[in-house]
Amino acid sequence: MVQALEPLEELEQESIPDEVPEEAPVDVLQSDKDKSLEEMISRINSMASQKPAEEEETYFTPPKAEEPAEEDLLEDHDTPFYPCEPQTLREAQLTATDVEALVLKYLLTAGEASGREVAAQICLPFLILEECLRKMKYDQLVVYKDTAQAGDYVYFLTDLGRERARRYNEYCTYYGAAPVSLKDYIGSVRAQSLEGQSPNIDALEHAFEDLLINKTMFRRLGPAINSGRGLFLYGAPGNGKTSIAERVTRAFGRYIWVPRAIGIDGEILRVFDPAVHDEAPLEDGPGIMQRHRIDKRWVRIKRPTIVVGGELTMDNLEISTIQATGVSEAPLQLKSNCGTLVIDDFGRQRMSTDELLNRWIVPLEKRYDFLNMRGGKKIQVPFDQLIVFSTNLEPRDLCDDAFLRRIPYKIEVVDPTEEEFRQLFDIMCPLMGFTYDQDAIDHLVETHYRKVNRPFRCCQPRDLLLQVRNLCLYENAPLQLSRKHFDDAVENYFAVM
């Protein structure tokens, strides 16, 4: 393994001359001996530190924290964006004043907290926050109340710190996660954009695996979803337009990262919304969570699908600010970036269709939007989502040609054929606890559809089976299909239809 060292005596004989000329002064002699000894020691150290080539190749150099290996970023390998933990305030795009405001407002509410508790609250590394807390103590804004674990302290506001926290609170009461810069957010949307992906037929089949869609419809949906821009789904009610729209996002990557909040010139804009975003945290354990630290100001969520219906108003499309708290909330289109925004029952909103179309006619073309902050500042943000307009009205009756041109795909969701209608019963029966009964289904189709010329709808097998199920449960009878049960279900279901 390690090369054997030569005997010390031999090295001395080679390095130090036996005879010195008589005319050499004593100090010259001593200098030559010192140099020889230094050369000998250097040679010994050099040989002792050498390793064979095969041993050196077995050594492993771990990847740098700031450059994680691409295959280790996420377990699902579906996004190139990865929010690395900042090492300094400059990397976090924050100022000492930003952090000071969050810390003081939190301590004003909590009363007291350790440094690590404060760091967890505002989602910054403790090493960054420790320096800020030290400066706040020097400025007599906080004091040590007690010691905490691992060299930490419990902090308490002074009278001066309490007064300054109240002044911060008057402008904005937010003391959650430290905000991410608008520039970093725009970069994250660009990296996780739908337009950068091209889901193929296998991805679409997986997305719609729990729906029955005929091949013609499927072939029309594929290019529309692949475009990542927008489409109209129109047709008779009950044929699955909303169900199709809700599953579009599955064709793309499963997860994205969104910031909890964005900071814009001292104002806070909240983006992460638990009401419409499904959080999908990384699991703790050996691997990525230990080798690469994540910026906790970001949240990993399932790629969003936001559905709004008749409750949609113009206020939902603009930044809303609660005057009592000073906290701003992102509009729906910003929360749906990198996902799907479904406008269900289009044409039945409380605002006119012209208002909505005029608001979005430019963003749909340019793929960016302009929003007004509370202080009057106008910001440009990405408009990067697949917008699906679902309606049972005729699209040309709702909007003009200028808007229809910006929605490149208009797809009609047609009624199912009789064969597809029967197949839906075959699928739904076991899901609801029934055994498929051919005779009962034949009676239903012949008596209540063909004779009265009633159109088939995709939702009706599920709805009629639910009626039969409820009737059986009420009568304490076994779950069983029969002609009588279908007659009763049809009488209730189609009473005014």
d(CA 195, CA 177): 30
Partners of 269 in the β-ladder: 262, 328
Q: Over pLDDT 70: what percentage of the chain?
A: 82
What is the pLDDT, as a whole number, of residue 456? 94
Q: Are 223 and 217 in contact (CB under 8 A)?
A: no
Is the separation of the CB atoms in 122 and 113 below 8 Å?
no
pLDDT at 80 over 80: no
Here the tokens at position 327 are 């906290």
Instruction: Indicate whether 77 pLDDT > 50.
Output: no
Q: What angle do CA 144, 147, 150 make, to 5 degrees?
A: 125
CA-closest candidate to residue 240, choices 258, 218, 260, 225: 218
Record the pTM.
Answer: 0.76
Q: Are the beta carbons of 273 and 301 closer than 8 angstroms?
A: no
> Which pLDDT does position 60 carry in this prediction?
30
pLDDT value at residue 18: 47
Q: Give 46's pLDDT tier (boundaries 50, 70, 90).
A: low
Q: What is the pLDDT of residue 365?
A: 83
H-only helix segments in 111-147: 115-122, 126-138
Q: Residue 378 and residue 356: Cα distance in Å, rounded?
A: 20
Please determine, for residue 20, whether its predicted confidence score (pLDDT) is greater than 80.
Answer: no
The tokens 């440009």 sit on which residue? Answer: 380
Report the C-alpha dihedral over residues 230, 234, 238, 244, rounded to 10 degrees. Answer: -20
Pairwise CA distance, residues 440 & 253, whole Å: 43
117-164 confidence digits (pLDDT tens): 999 999 999 999 999 999 999 999 999 988 888 788 999 999 999 999
* Mean pLDDT of the region 35-62: 48
Rounded CA gap, 316 and 13, in Å?
91
**Tens-place pLDDT, residues 189-233:** 999 988 877 888 888 888 888 888 888 888 888 888 887 777 888
Share above pLDDT 90 across residues of the chain, in percent, rounded to a whole number: 49
77 to 145, 152, 167, 181, 293: CA distances (angstroms): 46, 37, 46, 25, 17
**Residue 14: pLDDT above 60?**
no
Task: Give the 3-state secondary structure of 177-201.
Answer: CCCEEHHHHHHHHHHCCCCCCCCCH
